[in-house]
Structure 1
Amino acid sequence: MPHPLLKSTLLILAGGSLLTGVLLAQENRETAAPDAQSSTEQTPKAEPPKWVQVERRALGSNTTVGGTVIPLEEITFTAQMPGNVDLIAGSEGDFFRKGAVLAELDAAALRAQRQAALAAITNAQAAYRNAEVQYQREREDPSPRQGGNMMSQMMPMPFFGGDKETGVARSATLHQYGTQIEQAQGALVAAQAQLREIDAKLEDTKSIAPFDGYITHKHVNAGDTVQPGQPLLGFANMDRLQLQADVPTRLSAPLQPGFVTRVRLDDPAQTVVAARVAQVFPMADPTRHTVRVKLDLQENAPAKAGMYAEMLIPQPDVGQGSAPVIPVAALVYRGGLPMVYVLDDQDRPRLHLLRLGEQYGDTVTVLTGLRGGERILIEPAEVKPN
């Protein structure tokens, strides 16, 4: 059995060890707390947006102007008369050959009118033949005078002085039959003209494809009631495309029919194709002071109708001063139009619409939209180019 003094000593030592363990655990927690706090404070923050200041450089010898790709052949069919739509051949994107019926109005009433016109022609022809027969009979076998007696018919005409009267009556009768022939001819011509008019209206009830192409817009459906002038369908040939652009008058001098230039398409590869000036409108827009120009794109160009594209216009005068130059990476696109985010005094980004000039490597000149000295965002995270 242990001595009482030894037992007390063991208890004291055990208590001291327990107290020491508690103090060490508390000290470890206090030491770990600052570390946890420091690790929280070291969480990486979002990087501030990258920006660059716009510089001005001398203009190059080329300028670009934006435009829209359009079909060379395009037509909109409209209703030529009131009625109900009887047929719509297809929907947007459907292809049809030349001569195909794309839309048709109900023509039951016109067909009934055509039958009536044919009947009128038959009656007029019969009346004309009858008038001719009567006229020929009167010429070859004059009819006896009406109201004459047996004596006058049996006695020689000169005795009664009947030669003159017979000649006048015969002339009147021939004139009467001749008039009937002319009236029958007039009625026949009128009936034939009415038939041609009805046939023309029957043709107007059908919208026939004038060339191979696709339906681009469908404005009505079968069963709809339309009025004259109301659009029915849009139809276009997508095999031959043009670029239509409104060029500022100061840049339009080199553009003449037959002039060949380059066009940059708004596709992922920014494809550049050749284009020939096909038409230059003779009058400038009095409001925008621009001239409309159409260019034929080269065959098999990877373009679509409605696509945004840029025309490269060479400028003979290279001493036009300077223009803002920005990195291509700063551009964003909205609806195919080039824009850039500009930081204001409170570092808030604002979208600015641009008109771009020539691109040199990874930079591009700005014709309108910037003056130089602005701060623009580079590769803004919240914006993705179209």
Structure 2
Amino acid sequence: MNNRMSITNNAHWLLVLVASICLLPGAYAAEIIRVDASESQSQSVLGSTVIPYKEVTLAAQVPGVVKQVAGEVGAIFKQGDVIVQIDETTLQARRNSVLAQISTAQAVLQNSQAQYTRELVSPRSKDVGALPGFGLPAMFDMLAVRPFADSMMGGYDSDMGRYSDLMSSATVVSQAQSSLQQAMSQLQEIDSTVRDAKSIAPFEGMVLERLVEEGDTVQPGQALIKFGFVKFKRLQADVPSGLIRYLDEDMVVPVRIDGHVETMAKVAQIYPIADPSRHTVIVKFDLPVDITASPGMYAEVYLPERNKDKPKVAVIPRTALLSGRSLPSVLLVNDSNVSELRLIRLGSDQSNGMVEVISGISVGERIIDNPPPSASSGWMPTAK
């Protein structure tokens, strides 16, 4: 009984083994193919940084003590909002002093205009109201002596005297107007300085870096904060000058942000000059609006290398790679129609499941496609 069961089990295992051997070539559909040639699709990977669409540095325009800083790093402000306020007490005191000067200049101008009008209507040279004797000596002088002097002596001209008095009054009016204008100009200058004591957001954006604190003493030109428009973002990369010829504005290239966010970016700006020490050119790329990224993040830009003089590279299907190996390898069929194991070095992936081979095999050589996992040197597919 036991012998029969043993014979039956052995028969079952034998049938399974035979079926496996018969089905092995068909399951893997192994075949011998030749290594094709294709243009390389290798890419250069460059590091870049996420930057705001535009960025400005707000600096102090007047000396003084920082009175207020409206927000921390990351705070959002609308266009026209005050971000940093410098103490303006001294400026307000100067402004009040100039306002007093303006009031004085206006009073002087009004008085000079009144004196000029009086001289025009009632000349001082003909004023007899302040003379004694009811003005009789003055009237005699005006009616008899002066006409006689004008006609006979030739040494006196009453009209010239009146003209001189009018010009003197007009000069006083002009000087008063100049004093008022000078005071008004000083007021405009102080008002402009008062406005400069406030750092105002030039556009809607976010505080990128805060460089001062409340109570700090600042001087003109000292940086206060960095402010950027972050609704749209860009990448900035230093591209080697040898790769610039492969780039054009509005060209779209793949990028990877922070190691996991993959998207496409458009070439927005290519600087016309290169860094003389590093021999690189600054290139800016526009990112899609819906991409989540913060200024300062690291990103990788993949630039194509289109070199017409570069020879074609060998390409093979990924199905020709032996599975379960620590290093990429294929079965190469030699001139004796015997397979041998060959280690290869892979390059960039191409379309339709093809991959570039940098070294290990050459174009035109024969390899085995779809080899079984257990295949090794000497294994050959069954002839169909």
Deviations 1:76-135 (A, max 9, x none): 221112111100112112222222211101000101111111222222222222222222
CA positional deviation for 1:224: 1.4
Q: Which residue number corresponds to residue 210 of structure 1?
A: 202
What secondary structure is seen at the aligned counterpart in 1 of 2:111? helix
- Distance in 1, matches of 2:195 and 2:257, equals 41
Q: Read off the aligned partner of 1:118 and give its amino acid letter.
A: L
Greater Cα offset, 156-165 or 274-283: 156-165
User: CA, structure 1 residues 214+359, in 2 after alignment: closer, same or farther (shift >3 Å)?
Assistant: farther
What secondary structure is seen at the aligned counterpart in 1 of 2:306? coil
**Residues 112-191 of structure 1 correspond to what in structure 2 (within 5 A)?**
112-144=93-125, 150=138, 151-155=140-144, 157-161=146-150, 164-191=156-183
- Distance in 2, matches of 1:130 and 1:59, equals 92
Greater Cα offset, 212-221 or 286-295: 212-221
Gaps of at least 5 residues in structure 1 are 1-57, 324-357, 366-386
Q: Read off the aligned partner of 1:73 and give its amino acid letter.
A: K
Query: Is the CA contact (8 Å cut-off) linking 2:50 and 2:233 kept in structure 1?
Result: yes
Query: Is the CA contact (8 Å cut-off) linking 2:66 and 2:87 kept in structure 1?
Result: yes
**Residues 35-54 of structure 1 correspond to what in structure 2 (within 5 A)?**
none
- Distance in 2, matches of 1:296 and 1:215, equals 21
**Residues 1-386 of structure 1 correspond to what in structure 2 (within 5 A)?**
60-144=41-125, 150=138, 151-155=140-144, 157-161=146-150, 164-267=156-259, 270-317=260-307, 319-320=309-310, 360=349
CA positional deviation for 1:145: 6.0
Deviations 1:320-376 (A, max 9, x none): 4699xxxxxxxxxxxxxxxxxxxxxxxxxxxxxxxxxx9649xx99xxxxxxxxxxx
Deviations 1:232-270 (A, max 9, x none): 112222221111111111101132333332222124xx2
Q: Which residue number corresponds to residue 15 of structure 2?
A: none
Query: Is the CA contact (8 Å cut-off) linking 1:60 and 1:318 kept in structure 2?
Result: no
- Distance in 2, matches of 1:202 and 1:240, equals 33
- Distance in 1, matches of 2:142 and 2:263, equals 101
Query: Is the CA contact (8 Å cut-off) linking 2:41 and 2:304 kept in structure 1?
Result: no
- Distance in 1, matches of 2:268 and 2:291, equals 16
What secondary structure is seen at the aligned counterpart in 1 of 2:124? coil
Give the TM-score of the pair, scaled to structure 2.
0.64
CA positional deviation for 1:287: 0.7
CA positional deviation for 1:136: 2.2
Query: Is the CA contact (8 Å cut-off) linking 1:74 and 1:236 kept in structure 2?
Result: yes
Query: Is the CA contact (8 Å cut-off) linking 1:259 and 1:277 kept in structure 2?
Result: yes
- Distance in 2, matches of 1:172 and 1:248, equals 81
- Distance in 2, matches of 1:209 and 1:141, equals 60
Give the TM-score of the pair, scaled to structure 1.
0.64
- Distance in 1, matches of 2:76 and 2:168, equals 63
- Distance in 2, matches of 1:279 and 1:123, equals 58
Query: Is the CA contact (8 Å cut-off) linking 1:59 and 1:319 kept in structure 2?
Result: no
User: CA, structure 1 residues 125+258, in 2 after alignment: closer, same or farther (shift >3 Å)?
Assistant: farther
- Distance in 1, matches of 2:117 and 2:94, equals 35
- Distance in 2, matches of 1:318 and 1:281, equals 25
Query: Is the CA contact (8 Å cut-off) linking 1:104 and 1:205 kept in structure 2?
Result: yes
User: CA, structure 1 residues 83+68, in 2 after alignment: closer, same or farther (shift >3 Å)?
Assistant: same
Identical aligned residues as a percent = 39
Query: Is the CA contact (8 Å cut-off) linking 2:74 and 2:206 kept in structure 1?
Result: yes
- Distance in 2, matches of 1:133 and 1:259, equals 75
